[in-house]
Amino acid sequence: MMVLHHCDRPGCVEPTHLYLGTAKDNYAAMRERGRAVGNASPSTVAACDEALERIDREMCRLRKRWDWMLKRRALLTRS
């Protein structure tokens, strides 16, 4: 048995919001509240995809800049 929480607010200390349950009960509550792995809402998935695309674009830009800097340095050290 474990102590579970009804309202899902980390700062809540209200004793009436606590109840006893099993790990299975806890997982069922997670799924009902949309917190279980693989249970993300479409808007959350879209936001993550958009963020990853921004990161990829920025990494590409930085790689090009880095390549340019290395080539420039190689040219300068040859002189």
Cα 54 to chain center, whole Å? 15
Statement to judge: residues 10 and 33 lie in one domain: yes
Is residue 46 in a domain?
Answer: no
Domains: count for the chain: 2
The whole-angstrom separation of Cα 68 and Cα 79 is: 17
More confident position, 63 or 38: 63
pLDDT at residue 79 above 70? no
The span from the CA of 5 to the CA of 14, in Å, is: 9
Residue 45 domain-assigned (yes or no): no
Distance between CA atoms of residues 45 and 28, nearest Å: 21
Residue 73 lies in a domain: yes
**pTM, entire model:** 0.43
pLDDT digits (tens, 9 = 90+) for 5-61: 888 787 888 899 999 998 888 888 887 887 776 666 667 767 778 888 899 999 999
Cβ atoms 3, 20 nearer than 8 A: yes
Indicate the length of the chain as a whole number.
79
Q: Are 35 and 56 within one domain?
A: no
What domain range is 67 assigned to? Answer: 52-79
- Same domain for 62 and 30? no
Tell me how far CA of residue 16 lies from CA of 1, 3, 67, 68, in angstroms: 17, 12, 60, 62
